[in-house]
Structure 1
Amino acid sequence: MARYTGAVCKLCRREGTKLYLKGERCYKDKCGIEKKAYPPGQHGQLRKKLSDYGQQLREKQKVKRFYGILEAQFRLYFEKAARMQGITGENLLSLLERRLDNVVYRAGFAGSRKEARQMVRHAHFLVNGRKVNIPSFIVKAGEVIEVREKSGDHVRVKECLDTAEGRGIPEWLTLDKDGKKTQVVRLPERTDINYEIHEHLIVELYSK
């Protein structure tokens, strides 16, 4: 599958907000957007007023890059969210939050979603006791995600868990640090997602 392999700090600068793509570095002064809070490129410092379409497109791109998802899969998530009961934009964010790679990251087992995705693909985690190596696997309320016994001594897992509490664990997850497991106590709600996301712009874009 195609993946962006360029400098990820440029993506944060392009979207004008932290996307937390480089793990612990994003929480330090070395963060690229802290040094250069303007879009990359020759004309990055020029102020440009975006049209309504431009704002909608930028919001979609921001969320795609935030969760590390390509266009085709992102549209599938939107179509699924539109068929669900409730508000489409909030349903979309809930689905994205419930991806296994995101849960692994949010629980503190990995320093970034990219790292979490790699760990999942290498089959370091169990869901309800079963090995799952699909990053897009959607977790459900009550399910338990744990580090496999043979992966329990994984150096990066230990390092990330040591800094997890400082980063914060969302209320819809509980973390057993010693047991290296997390449980989905309930489905994530809009109030649990404290990132600057305007999901209504994405709904407007895809509804045209």
Structure 2
Amino acid sequence: MARYHGPRARIARRYNDPIFGLSINKVLQKKNYAPGQHGKGRKRRSPFALQLIEKQKAKYTYGLLERPFYNLFVKAAKSKGITGEVMLQRLEARLDNTVYRLGIASTRREARQLTTHRHITVNGKVVNIPSYTLKPGDLVGVAQKSKEMEVITTNVTNHPSTKYNWLEWDAPSMVGKFVTFPQRSDIPEKINERSIVELYSK
């Protein structure tokens, strides 16, 4: 599975956002300016540069490379509704992202690993495709053989069960429900989806 393997702290500093997880916060506090020789004195960015930044930020946040991200945008553009919001809803409906949101994994990268290693089920069946798109009502859980894994039990124990209102979580059974596609106002990511739509519409 193709995914980003480069430096994470540098990317977080570039976009001034802890897009790879809360652990990057300490990096932003230590050096709160962009990386590179000219990080402290960058010129004003053009509209195109600002649009590109938003696209790159979204890609890194959700862990997609260019082609899968563009394909997802195309599907969103063909769907009913506001393209930018539909795009974010589809990103949130990915299995790896939902595993992360439910607290089964501490980061999206860890969620992808748990999924590909067959530790995650959808409606009772093992699904090892991180990009699998959930539908409202789907049940996402931990495979029976994996419920005693230390990394999973630790994550579940520290998980705030009512953090996202489009998800439900049953801690004793380690099963969550994807209730509905989230509203834009409920998605916490600081992404300007309109800029992404404008970039791809040129």
Residue type at the aligned position of 1:133 = N
- Counterpart among 134, 146, 168 of residue 174 in structure 1: 168
Query: Structure 1 unaligned runs (5+)?
Result: none
Cα distance per residue 1:41-92 (max 9 Å; x no partner): 1111113211000000000000000000000000001000000001000000
Within 5 Å, give how 1:15-94 maps onto structure 2: 15-19=15-19, 21=20, 23=21, 25-26=23-24, 31-94=26-89
**1:180 Cα offset (Å):** 0.7
**1:193 Cα offset (Å):** 0.5
Q: Does the Cα contact within 8 Å between 1:107 and 1:173 map onto a contact in 2?
A: yes
Cα distance per residue 1:131-177 (max 9 Å; x no partner): 100000000100101101000101111111122218x6210001111
TM-score by length of 2: 0.95
Calculate percent identity across the aligned residue pairs.
44
CA distance in 2, matches of 1:77, 1:33: 30
> Are 1:151 and 2:149 matched, yes or no?
no
- SS of the residue corresponding to residue 89 of structure 2 reads helix
**1:18 Cα offset (Å):** 1.5
Q: Does the Cα contact within 8 Å between 1:57 and 1:202 map onto a contact in 2?
A: yes
Quote the residue 1:118 is aligned against: 113
Q: Does the Cα contact within 8 Å between 2:76 and 2:90 map onto a contact in 1?
A: yes
TM-score by length of 1: 0.93
- SS of the residue corresponding to residue 168 of structure 2 reads strand
CA distance in 2, matches of 1:169, 1:188: 13
Quickly say closer, same or farther: Cα 1:144–1:2, change in 2 above 3 A: closer
Residue type at the aligned position of 1:181 = V
* Structure 1, 127-136 or 39-48: larger mean CA deviation: 39-48
Report how many aligned residue pairs link the two structures.
Answer: 202
Calculate the aligned-residue CA RMSD, in Å.
1.4
Q: Does the Cα contact within 8 Å between 1:24 and 1:111 map onto a contact in 2?
A: no
**1:100 Cα offset (Å):** 0.2
**1:24 Cα offset (Å):** 5.3
- SS of the residue corresponding to residue 89 of structure 1 reads helix
- Counterpart among 179, 186, 192 of residue 198 in structure 1: 192
CA distance in 1, matches of 2:31, 2:172: 39
Query: Structure 2 unaligned runs (5+)?
Result: none
Q: Does the Cα contact within 8 Å between 1:108 and 1:169 map onto a contact in 2?
A: no
Residue type at the aligned position of 1:4 = Y
Quote the residue 1:6 is aligned against: 6
- SS of the residue corresponding to residue 136 of structure 1 reads coil
